[in-house]
Copies of this chain bind each other. A is one copy, B any other.
Amino acid sequence: MATLLHYPLCPFSRSIRLALSECGVEAELAEERPWEWRPEFTDLNPAGTLPVLITDERGPIMGAYAISEYLGDTADERDARLFHPFPGDETGKAEQRRLVDWFHHKFHDEVTDYLVEEKVYRRFGPGSSSPDMEAMRAGRENLRYHLAYIGHLAETRSWLAGDAMSFADLAAAAHLSALDYLGEVPWEQHEAVKNWYALLKSRPSFRPLLQDRIAGFTPSGTYADLDF
């Protein structure tokens, strides 16, 4: 069986846990704490990024980009009724990848990185320290702005990138779920986002994520509640 090196609140890891489950690819989870820079881990992946999927047949596959595209490239090996991370035609795929890029880079750099980094990694990392309140304020401000954009997508489309669920939805849900764990998502002000997220949250692939618990951080009241 494959092994996924991941960290529970890492949004890249979460997006791949959801994708593996939707694709019906079984993988054992192994927790890797990214702030520890374990030599055995950086020997494997010099960039020190998560997740890493260690496959039986094709060796280690590094990072959410390579893993998600690998799951697309190997879709033919699985039952055609299972999830395809990039379904449809070239125009559809381009829109899905635009949004994956947006969530895993722009949204990450402007929101998730600020809030997860400041609240969690900084506490556990070397020279444990208090959150930088300025960075957290910036992250929250950007989140409000970006939620309006996600709401616009959710209002005008069945799924964020179009008619079919794609890896763009999983990437988006990965970031929002990590932020929701920390109680940072103002769901009530974003009804369309909440409805889209509720659909994803009720899928079997989401269940293991809702059971994640980080020592020292109690999840928000909405986190594991399907009827939030």
Q: Does A211 contact B (CB under 8 A)?
A: no
Q: Contacts A58-B90, A59-B91 given: A47-B97 contact, CB under 8 Å? A: no
Q: How large is the interface on A (under 10, 10 to 19, 20 to 34, 35 or more residues)?
A: 20 to 34
A102 CB-CB contact with B under 8 Å: yes
Flag if A93 contacts B65 (CB, 8 Å).
no
Stretch among A18-26, A69-77, A123-131, A220-228 lining the B interface: A69-77
- Chain B, Cβ-Cβ closest to A106: B47
Q: Does A94 contact B (CB under 8 A)?
A: yes
Q: Is A155 an interface residue (CB 8 A)?
A: no
Copies of this chain: 2
Contact B105 A93 (CB under 8 A): no
Chain B, Cβ-Cβ closest to A64:
B101
Chain A residues touching B, majority SS: helix
The chain B residue sitting closest to A98, CB to CB, is B62
Residues of B within 8 A of A63 (CB): 97-98, 101
Taking the complex as formed, is A149 at the interface, i.e. its CB lies under 8 A from any CB of chain B?
yes
Q: Does A46 contact B (CB under 8 A)?
A: yes
Q: Is the CB of B94 within 8 A of A62?
A: yes
Q: How far is B91's CA from A67's CA once the two chains are assembled, in angstroms?
A: 11
B69 touches A69 (CB 8 A): yes
Quote the shortest CB–CB distance from A15 to chain B (angstroms): 14
Per the bound structure, the CA–CA distance linking A63 and B94 in Å amounts to 9
A70 touches B94 (CB 8 A): yes
- Cα-based distance from A73 to B94 in the complex (angstroms): 10
- The interface residues of chain B lying within 8 Å CB-to-CB of A65 are 65, 97, 100-101
